[in-house]
Structure 1
Amino acid sequence: MNTSGLGMTNVQLQYQLLTPAADAANTGTQRQDFAAITTTTAKPATQHAPQQQDETSKQQQAFLTQLMDQMLANRIGLDKQKLDEIKAKIEEAQAEKAALQQQPQSPQRDGQIVAIDAKLNKLDKALQGLLEQAHRNREEHEREKNSLKAVQQYQLTAQADKPTLLL
């Protein structure tokens, strides 16, 4: 697998390709929940059940999304915690910049915006560095895997070439 040019958009696209499977599993669970709700005979329980089902479905969806994110990150060798930290810092800086842009124009405000832009650039570089590290980790893992396969294949062919002596 060649993963050159691995970027955040590629990660997001890979995640989006994997999410329909999670939606299909969630749909099956929702059908089972719906069947259980419709078979209950008590009126008060059925009135509260759809609300509980909505909460349960939301919790399940959030869990599945988090699980898929983690699986994808592990698959490409990405440190998910660092990625989440960097994303949170980027969001904070963007919110701070948006709040500053709402204020009246002044030299102090402009200086703060420039400082936030520099911070955003630094965070963007950190994010790119993290993605590049994930790319290097993935390539290293693939090289190890390929070399292990080559050694095993060599051992199998070496054993096949040895004459066996039957007594």
Structure 2
Amino acid sequence: MSQFTHINASGEANMVDVSTKQETVREARAEAWVSMSKETLDLIVSGSHHKGDVFATARIAGIQAAKKTWDLIPLCHPLLLSKVEVQLEALPETNQVRIESVCKLAGKTGVEMEALTAASVAALTIYDMCKAVQKDMVIGNVRLLEKTGGKSGHFVAN
């Protein structure tokens, strides 16, 4: 097993020094799922939700969150993202929304946390916009799907 990179020799949390790392193109994809009732999903899909376009708002929230990840996660580096994409898909057969985010840059550190944050905040935004209609929605299965670039190379989730 690899060593934790955010823990120094004294066992204290620290921000990793990336100044000597090589700049490479890095990309990460993540997903999150929101489970809800058929009625709630129907409101979202039909566009008749009283708060407006739930998917558009969640997409913008996810993009903003990716750009602010360094401000939310204490040991993350501020990054100049070159791409952030958030896609939302309604799955009526299971009464779920699947969110997939993609983050990309040319830099010295990965964008996994940005992709995970984008998917998570998009899911939280769906919850926030729909909580007046349904409070027992479930956000789950937030995970990294794939990452490329950097020293550790290519990762694809099973």
| Higher RCO (C-alpha 8 Å, min separation 6) | 2
Structure with more of its chain in strand, by fraction: 2
TM-score with structure 2 length normalisation?
A: 0.28
Structure with more of its chain in helix, by fraction: 1
TM-score with structure 1 length normalisation?
A: 0.27
Greater radius of gyration (CA) = 1
